[in-house]
Structure 1
Amino acid sequence: MRQQFLHLLFSIFLSTIALGQVGINTTTPEPSAALDVRSNNNNKGFLPPRLTQTERDGILSPAEGLVIYNTTSKCLQWYNGQGWYDGCTGATYGIIGSLDCIGTSIMGTLISNIELSGVSTSVPYTEGNGRFHNGQIVTSTGVTGLTAILPAGTFAIGSGSIIYMITGTPANSGIASFALSIGGQICTLNITISALTVPNSCNPSNPTAVVNVTNPITGRIWMDRNLGANRAATSSFDVESYGLLFQWGRGTDNHQCVNRYSGDGVTTSVNSVLNATVNVDNPSHGEFIIMNIVNHDWRSPQNNNLWQGVSSINNPCPSGYRLPTDSELDAERASWSTQNADGAFASPLKLPAAGIRSYNTGLISSVGTEGYYWSSTVSGTGARRLTFGSASAGLATTVRTAGRSVRCIKD
């Protein structure tokens, strides 16, 4: 017996050396086999590892091709990279024959920069095997900020559909794409995200709501939103909180009107540009008047009293409110936790980065990245304003023809 065993080991050694193969009970293993086990008519078979269902499921990261005998189901099983395949009944995991991303239906509203609520999509499939699947979580590409979540569940036998919940806040408008992969099938789910056009508040029947907010450090009471804003800011780049863009000293003659689009962050003007000055305090039109080269003002000669106090000539604020002085704005800035756009939003006033309208072209820029807020204070031919961006904040003197935000303070 000992001699037979040594002969077997020697034969295996020679086969391994010569062919890189192993033969048991043969010196000539099949060329396509790394291991060839033969019974040689001794009525014996190959006995793989025998595991219960629980023991099998305890295998961490099973290799593709791993073989076991399941003593619970009494079947030979192997791992095919997706799950355990059963020699008795087929796949032990859920599989489907096709997945139809084109025939999906969407429930709910998808608008850029607005957090989704109750949005789902139903994706049809065919040839389900009635088995369990582990679900899927996939993030969006194209329009980012979204996640599609399919909970674990069981496929129907035959045709059916699976429900993905869509969560998150879309970063912009356009197409959000999700690479779905479930049940051995893949497809790309494309969902359209709409842009939100925020109505401007130039309509006299839709005035800015007056809600007070107090800074406990300065003790001053302010409106909680910019003039023309639909709401107090929910973020530094909340398009519904941006409001209107005023030239210094002008009233609510519609020159301040803009359209805000949350889908791509674009802001467009409602009115045209006039390349000329006027000599009256209230122009008879709503055009945006660009720079006068002499004094950088829309009015010639200048009037320094247009925005001075609640009783000023062109005070655009609601009754009992006025433009803040530069000292009042600076006191608010000094109370911020950080001297930048993050600090401006984190403050009790929640100032958003509403951008600016150019003094010499009328074009709008820096929306969502920088904030520009008028004070009532004049300085030489210019006026004082508060500015903040990603890295700094401060007050400076600037030309009066630029379009900037207004935050009113209670008198």
Structure 2
Amino acid sequence: MRQHFFYLFLLIISIGAAAQNVGVGTSNPPSKLTTVGTASNPSIPGATSTGVLRVGIGTNNDEGVDFGKSETQPYSGWVQSGFNGITADPLSLQPLGGSVGIGVLAPNASAALDVTSTTRGFLPPRMTWAQRDAIATPAEGLIIICTDCGTKGLHQYINGAWQAVTSSNTGNYGTVVNPVTGKVWLDRNLGATQVATSPTDAASYGDIYQWGRNADGHQIRTSGITTTQSSSFFTSNGLFVTNSTSPYNWLSPVETHMWSGTSAENNPCPSGFRIPTAAEWEQERRTWSSNDGNGAFASPLKLPMAGYREGSYGLLNGEGNNGSYWSSTIYSNNSRFLNFYNSGASILISNRAEGLSVRCIQD
């Protein structure tokens, strides 16, 4: 039977090429081959085609690709591949390679898919947090839009976990050098939109990280909170973890390796940069013109008093009055940080559930 259909198809093509336009379901075909049928809504191809045109295989014609035109708004044209009206099969374009274009006649040769428009955007699949996590064996680099995650918007599957796509570690950062120490630093805090113009410049405050966490969205000042500790050091929910029980950590069991050097698993800094050690912060502090918030801002780093986020309740505090900057140095179940305010500055220790600023140093 399949052989007969094949010969019939070749006959139709040869007639159209040699003589005139050929029509199926029409006596006035406008093209070399025109197939006309009743519009229908798409369904998985079965033994009976739901489309206007079918490419079918199988003894009972139960496998196929149907082409059709919807009979209801918005009257879309459609293509569906499937089996026996039950299973939707994969549908491939350019299986041997080549560029596919949408809105463009000559897609860019460097692109597998070239979507061109000046009036429309690209809309990835939208789903809830639960639906995202229910995706079976997601591929590395898979992208979706999460509609109810702690950080809404684009999420990507990287290194075996979902994470929000944020700008905190990919911003337009410059660098500054302390001529006394010779150290090279980023010119602003992670997540800041500009270099500080004053100690209380809100646009220079940037994000606030819980110690050792990756940039999954929790560092955004307005991120949601949860009281559920993470069981993995790589997080993807975008929520700030509050904890009022010793050892006051967002992670259980406790781990300490996540911010050690440029190759650290959760290093939020741009390539070639890392979280400074407590000793490096102390070295910088000793070069300030005054040991306080004014000295921090007057330094080459122009450190603002960006405040912090409480680890117990997730409340923002100290904006414009206090500067708190993480180091990579651990101290028992805590970590060291640089602290400064209007009348003093020193290296202190803090529990790791606290949210503090991050300024990166070149390795």
**TM-score normalized with structure 1 length:** 0.47
Partner of 1:354: 306
Judging by fraction of residues, say which structure has more strand.
1
- Structure 1 residue 294: Cα displacement: 2.8
Structure with the greater alpha carbon radius of gyration? 1
Q: Deviations over 1:145-182 (max 9, x none)?
A: xxxxxxxxxxxxxxxxxxxxxxxxxxxxxxxxxxxxxx
**Shift in Å at residue 390 of structure 1?**
0.5
Which residue matches 1:342? 294
Q: 1:282 is matched with which residue?
A: 234
**Cα RMSD, aligned residues only:** 1.6
CA contact (8 A) 1:254 1:286 kept: yes
Return the alpha-carbon distance in structure 2 between the equivalents of residues 205 and 385 of structure 1. Answer: 20
Q: CA deviation at 1:291?
A: 1.7
Which residue, 334, 341, 345 being the options, matches 1:389?
A: 341
Out of 180, 195, 208, the residue aligned to residue 232 of structure 1 is: 195
> What is the alpha-carbon distance in structure 1 between the residues aligned to residue 198 and residue 330 of structure 2?
30
> What secondary structure is seen at the aligned counterpart in 1 of 2:348?
strand
Query: Residue 173 of structure 2 aligns to a residue in which SS?
Result: coil
Task: State the Cα distance separating 1:205 from its structure 2 match.
Answer: 9.6
The reply on whether 1:222 has 2:185 as its aligned counterpart is yes
Per the TM alignment, residue 369 of structure 1 is displaced from its structure 2 partner at its CA by 1.0
TM-score (norm 2): 0.54
Matches within 5 A, 1:12-411: 203-204=166-167, 207-258=170-221, 269=222, 271-291=223-243, 293-411=245-363
Superposition deviation, residue 203 in structure 1: 3.5
Cα deviation code 1:52-95 (max 9, x no counterpart): xxxxxxxxxxxxxxxxxxxxxxxxxxxxxxxxxxxxxxxxxxxx
Question: For each residue in 1:231-281, what CA deviation from the matched residue of structure 2 results, as whole angstroms up to 9, or x when unmatched?
Answer: 1111001111110000000010000012xxxxxxxxxx2x21111211101
Distance (Å, rounded) in 1 between the aligned partners of 2:235 and 2:169: 22
Structure-2 separation of matches of 1:285 and 1:297: 16
- Does structure 2 conserve the Cα–Cα contact (< 8 Å) formed by 1:226 and 1:405? yes
Separation of aligned partners in 2, 1:320 and 1:207: 12
Between the aligned partners of 1:314 and 1:382, the Cα distance in structure 2 is 17
**Residue segments in structure 1 that go unaligned for 5+ positions in a row:** 1-200, 259-268
Displacement, 1:395?
0.4
**How many pairs does the alignment contain?**
200
Q: What is the alpha-carbon distance in structure 2 between the residues aligned to residue 358 and residue 399 of structure 1?
A: 10
Distance 1:225 1:214 in 2: 12
* Aligned AA (1:229): A
Q: Which runs of 5+ in 2 are unaligned?
A: 1-163
| Residues 213 and 258 in structure 2, CA contact (< 8 A), matched pair in contact too | yes
**Are the aligned partners of 2:335 and 2:350 in contact in 1 as well (CA < 8 Å)?**
yes
Structure 2 SS opposite 1:393:
strand
Residues 214 and 235 in structure 2, CA contact (< 8 A), matched pair in contact too: no
Structure 1 residues 241, 301: CA separation in 2 closer, same or farther (over 3 Å shift)?
same
**Which structure 1 residue ranges, 4+ long, deviate > 6 Å from structure 2?**
none
Contact 1:325 1:376 in 2 (8 A): yes
